[in-house]
Structure 1
Amino acid sequence: MTELAAAAGIFAGTNVDDLLVLTVLFLAAARSGRPRPWQIWAGQYAGIALLVAISGAAALGLTLLPDRWVGLLGLVPLALGLRGLVSAFRDRGADPPAVATGLVSVTAVTVANGADNIAVYTPVFRTAGIGGSLVTIAVFAVLTALWCAAAGWLGGHRRVVEVIGRWGHWLVPLVFVAIGLTILAGLL
């Protein structure tokens, strides 16, 4: 049960910003017909699958690293989170999300927007083992569907997009800091 909760927390924390991007894509789909909703869903799944595959490959490469040092990988999401907080403080606003018009561009936006997820997923897959990694991937698959469904629903509510846009740039770095500290706590 803890693996399920941890995987859900990791997915939610690393994809809060993606929810905003998906919501904007569904808004665009409703207004212009592009991208089509199926392209958003398929592109999101393809992008998440690529991020997971890259993270899994990196985690396999880290099997050469002694277990006692793996927890130091928590410094990566911690640093990303701190950098994000500094940036959010300086900019006082979020960058506008990229807009895509088809399956390939939705996939590209998902990968580009989630490239920092690799820094979080890699140590998770490295420490979770095969069984834990499979549970994590299954949770990610289910939550990707939930994210798409939620974004489709939110896309009909402009005010929700404004709220996510206002606070998302603070929330994402805070979650990264928490994930980094959790990974580092495994060293203790």
Structure 2
Amino acid sequence: MILSSVLPAIGLFFLTNIDDIIVLALFFARGAGQRGTTARILGGQYLGFLGILGAAVLVALGAGAFLPEEAIPYFGLIPLLLGLRVAWQVWRNRDDDDDDDDEAKVAGKKVGVLTVAAVTFANGGDNIGVYVPVFLNVGPTAVIAYCAVFLALVIVLVWLAKFVATRRPIADTLERWEHILFPVVLIALGLFILISGGAFGL
């Protein structure tokens, strides 16, 4: 039972999380040159993904009252607000001299565990929608196997994002445009989650 769940779990994980590579790569670009960036991104990704798995398991167990399906699209407010906050910071600092306060600028871009976790969880609404019917149609042992495989693959996903973000042409592009791409991607992600889920009657 456990072995027969491994391959489907691997396929399901990458099918539902491949889009995270782009967002995580931008986190790596934002945290470039800072000590502990990889550890914070990995910790945040694990924290956010544990939230996704916890929500999916609870809903599958019949605790849907705690997380109604219609509430999931509103997760889009998290990356939307974070993106607007970063965009405001970029706008406010647009006239700063590039040669001044370099250390302050780097510190201002510090990637936080909770920020990564919040974006990961918000982007996981579709994951929850996919995982619940799967969990409902397999036994408890298979659910545990799925969760174990998913958690083992989180580190692979983060490694892939770091690999992409550190390829020279990509790294150069991200270094140059990260301050624009990061808030734009977060805002676009938030709007996509809200609109595709029909939040606020959209």
* Band the TM-score falls in, shorter-chain normalisation: 0.5 to 0.7
Per-residue deviation at 1:149?
1.4
Per-residue deviation at 1:129?
1.4
Secondary structure of the structure 2 residue equivalent to 1:30: coil
Whether the 8 Å contact between 1:26 and 1:155 is mirrored in structure 2 is: yes
**1:93-130 Cα deviation digits (max 9, x unpaired):** xxxx9588301111001011112111001111111211
- After superposition, where does 1:64-103 map in structure 2 within 5 Å? 101-103=111-113
Secondary structure of the structure 1 residue equivalent to 2:111: coil
Aligned to 1:117: 127
Q: 1:34 to 1:115 in 2, by over 3 A?
A: farther
Per-residue deviation at 1:55?
0.3
Aligned to 1:6: 8
Q: 1:125 to 1:148 in 2, by over 3 A?
A: same
Aligned to 1:67: none
- After superposition, where does 1:18-167 map in structure 2 within 5 Å? 18-31=20-33, 33=34, 36-61=37-62, 101-157=111-167, 159=169
Per-residue deviation at 1:35?
7.7
User: Where do 4+ consecutive residues of structure 1 move more than 4 Å?
Assistant: 97-100, 158-162
Aligned to 2:185: none
**Structure 2 residues without counterparts, runs of 5 or longer:** 70-81, 87-109, 174-180, 182-202
TM-score, normalised with respect to structure 2: 0.57
- CA distance in structure 2 between the aligned counterparts of 1:36 and 1:19, rounded to whole angstroms: 16
- CA distance in structure 2 between the aligned counterparts of 1:152 and 1:18, rounded to whole angstroms: 12
**Structure 1 residues without counterparts, runs of 5 or longer:** 64-75, 77-96, 166-188
- CA distance in structure 2 between the aligned counterparts of 1:143 and 1:154, rounded to whole angstroms: 17
Whether the 8 Å contact between 2:41 and 2:111 is mirrored in structure 1 is: no
One-letter amino acid of the structure 2 residue matched with residue 50 of structure 1: G
**1:11-47 Cα deviation digits (max 9, x unpaired):** 000001111111111121115x288221100000000
Aligned to 1:90: none
Aligned-residue Cα RMSD (Å) equals 3.1
Whether the 8 Å contact between 1:23 and 1:151 is mirrored in structure 2 is: yes
Whether the 8 Å contact between 1:25 and 1:40 is mirrored in structure 2 is: yes
Whether the 8 Å contact between 1:28 and 1:34 is mirrored in structure 2 is: no
Secondary structure of the structure 1 residue equivalent to 2:123: helix
Secondary structure of the structure 2 residue equivalent to 1:61: coil
Secondary structure of the structure 2 residue equivalent to 1:128: coil
- CA distance in structure 2 between the aligned counterparts of 1:122 and 1:57, rounded to whole angstroms: 9
Greater percentage in helix: 1
- CA distance in structure 2 between the aligned counterparts of 1:30 and 1:128, rounded to whole angstroms: 42
Q: Percent identity?
A: 34
One-letter amino acid of the structure 1 residue matched with residue 137 of structure 2: T
